[in-house]
Structure 1
Amino acid sequence: RRLGEVYKRQVREAAGLAEAVASARREAAAAFGDGTVFIERYVEHGRHVEVQIFGDIFGTVAALGARECSIQRRHQKIVEEAPGVVPSEVRERLHEAAVAAGRAVDYVGAGTVEFLLTPDGAIHFLEMNTRLQVEHPVTELCTGLDLVRLQLLVADGEPLPEAAVFARTSGYAVEVRLCAEDPAEGFRPATGVLHRFAVPGVSAEFGGLDRAGLRLDSGVVDGSAVGVHYDSMLAKLIAWAPTRGEAARSLAGALARAELHGVTTNRDLLVRVLRSPEFAAVEIDTGFLDRHPEVFVPLVPSDRVPLYTLAAALACAAARRADAPVLAGLPSGWRNVPAYPQVTRLLGPAGEVEVRYRLDRAGALAEWAVRPATAPNGDGAAHDGPRIDSSDSGGATLAGSGTGAGSAGSAGSATGAGSTTDGGGIAAVVLVSAAPDRVVLDEAGVRGAYRVHRVGSAVHVDGPEGSVTLTELPRFPEPTAELPAGSLLAPLPGTVTRVHVEAGRRVTAGDLLLTLEAMKLEHPVLAPVDGTVVELPVPAGGQVETGAVLAVVNPLEDTR
Structure 2
Amino acid sequence: MFDSVLIANRGEIACRIIRTARRMGLRSIAVFSEADRDAAHVALADQAVAIGPAPAAESYLAIERIIGAARASGATAVHPGYGFLSENAAFAEACAAAGLIFIGPPAAAIRAMGSKSAAKALMARAGVPLVPGYHGDDQDPVRLEAEAAVIGYPVLIKASAGGGGKGMRIVTAPADFAAFLALAKGEARAAFGDDHVLIEKYLTRPRHIEIQVFADRFGNVVSLFERDCSIQRRHQKIIEEAPAPLMSEAQRLTMGEAACAAARAIDYVGAGTVEFIAEGGEFHFMEMNTRLQVEHPVTEMITGLDLVEWQFRVAVGEALPLTQNEIERVGHAIEVRIYAEDPARDFAPSTGTLHHLRLPEPSRHVRIDSGVREGDAVSVHYDPMIAKLIAWDTDRDGAIRHLAQALAGFEIDGVRNNIGLLRRIVTEADFAVADLDTGFIARHEAALMAAAPQASAVVYAAAIDRWLRDLPVSGDPASPWNVRTAWRLNGEAFQDLMVEADGAACSVRVYPRSECAFGFDLEGHIHQANVTAVAPDRVRVMVGGEVVTVTVLRREDLIVVFAHGHRHAMRVIDPFAARGEAAAGGGRVVTTMPGRVMAIGVAPGDIVAAGDLLVTIEAMKVQFRMTAPGGGVVRQVLCSVGELVEDGAELVTIEAEERA
Query: Do both share a fold (TM > 0.5)?
Result: yes
- Residue in 2 that maps onto 1:416: none
- Equivalent of 1:291, from 429, 439, 443? 443
CA contact 1:357–1:365 (8 Å) conserved in 2: no
CA contact 1:536–1:551 (8 Å) conserved in 2: yes
CA contact 1:439–1:449 (8 Å) conserved in 2: yes
Residue 490 of structure 1, CA deviation = 2.5
CA contact 1:218–1:234 (8 Å) conserved in 2: yes
1:6 paired with 2:157, answer no
Q: Deviations over 1:446-493 (max 9, x none)?
A: 233432111223322111252213355556545657654432222333
- Equivalent of 2:486, from 306, 316, 333? 333
- Residue in 1 that maps onto 2:384: 232
- d(CA) in 2 for partners of 1:74 and 1:294? 17
1:349 paired with 2:528, answer no
- d(CA) in 2 for partners of 1:258 and 1:32? 33
- d(CA) in 2 for partners of 1:70 and 1:98? 18
CA contact 1:516–1:525 (8 Å) conserved in 2: yes
1:501 paired with 2:602, answer yes
CA contact 1:27–1:521 (8 Å) conserved in 2: yes
- Equivalent of 1:315, from 466, 469, 483? 466
CA contact 1:47–1:117 (8 Å) conserved in 2: yes
- Within 5 Å, give how 1:97-108 maps onto structure 2: 97-108=258-269
- Residue in 2 that maps onto 1:141: 301
- Residue in 2 that maps onto 1:431: 529
- d(CA) in 2 for partners of 1:522 and 1:333? 54
1:49 paired with 2:209, answer yes
Secondary structure of 1:320's aligned partner: coil
- Residue in 2 that maps onto 1:467: 567
Secondary structure of 2:201's aligned partner: coil
- d(CA) in 2 for partners of 1:523 and 1:309? 38
- Equivalent of 2:366, from 211, 214, 226? 214
- Residue in 1 that maps onto 2:114: none
- Residue in 2 that maps onto 1:241: 393
Secondary structure of 2:334's aligned partner: strand
Letter in 2 for 1:106: D
Give the 3 Å change call, closer, same or farther, for CA 463–559 of structure 1 in structure 2: farther
Letter in 1 for 2:417: T
CA contact 2:486–2:493 (8 Å) conserved in 1: no
Give the 3 Å change call, closer, same or farther, for CA 506–332 of structure 1 in structure 2: farther
- d(CA) in 1 for partners of 2:328 and 2:474? 63
Q: Deviations over 1:169-222 (max 9, x none)?
A: 11111100000001011101101100111122213xxxxxxxx32111101111
Give the 3 Å change call, closer, same or farther, for CA 367–457 of structure 1 in structure 2: closer
Residue 262 of structure 1, CA deviation = 1.0
- With structure 1 as the length reference, what TM-score do the two structures score? 0.82
- Residue in 1 that maps onto 2:253: 92
Q: Deviations over 1:73-132 (max 9, x none)?
A: 0000000101121111111111011011011111111100000110x2101000000001
Give the 3 Å change call, closer, same or farther, for CA 13–189 of structure 1 in structure 2: same
Give the 3 Å change call, closer, same or farther, for CA 473–518 of structure 1 in structure 2: farther
Query: Aligned-residue CA RMSD in angstroms?
Result: 2.6
- Residue in 2 that maps onto 1:209: none
- d(CA) in 2 for partners of 1:459 and 1:431? 18
Give the 3 Å change call, closer, same or farther, for CA 14–297 of structure 1 in structure 2: closer
- Residue in 2 that maps onto 1:512: 613
Give the 3 Å change call, closer, same or farther, for CA 368–170 of structure 1 in structure 2: same
175-184 or 442-451, larger mean C-alpha shift? 442-451
Report the number of matched residues: 492
- Residue in 1 that maps onto 2:232: 72
- Equivalent of 1:551, from 652, 656, 660? 652
- Within 5 Å, give how 1:16-27 maps onto structure 2: 16-27=176-187
Give the 3 Å change call, closer, same or farther, for CA 225–477 of structure 1 in structure 2: farther
CA contact 1:341–1:356 (8 Å) conserved in 2: no
Residue 13 of structure 1, CA deviation = 0.5
Give the 3 Å change call, closer, same or farther, for CA 254–8 of structure 1 in structure 2: same
Give the 3 Å change call, closer, same or farther, for CA 40–223 of structure 1 in structure 2: same
- The answer for unaligned runs of 5 or more in structure 1 is 204-211, 370-387, 389-395, 397-408, 411-428
- Residue in 1 that maps onto 2:89: none
Give the 3 Å change call, closer, same or farther, for CA 137–438 of structure 1 in structure 2: closer
- Within 5 Å, give how 1:181-196 maps onto structure 2: 181-196=341-356
Choose between structure 1 and 2: higher helix proportion. 2
Q: Deviations over 1:361-409 (max 9, x none)?
A: 556544423xxxxxxxxxxxxxxxxxx2xxxxxxx2xxxxxxxxxxxx2
Q: Deviations over 1:407-459 (max 9, x none)?
A: xx22xxxxxxxxxxxxxxxxxx2211266845555455223343211122332
- With structure 2 as the length reference, what TM-score do the two structures score? 0.70
- d(CA) in 1 for partners of 2:244 and 2:474? 58
Give the 3 Å change call, closer, same or farther, for CA 362–497 of structure 1 in structure 2: same
Give the 3 Å change call, closer, same or farther, for CA 108–21 of structure 1 in structure 2: same
Give the 3 Å change call, closer, same or farther, for CA 274–482 of structure 1 in structure 2: closer
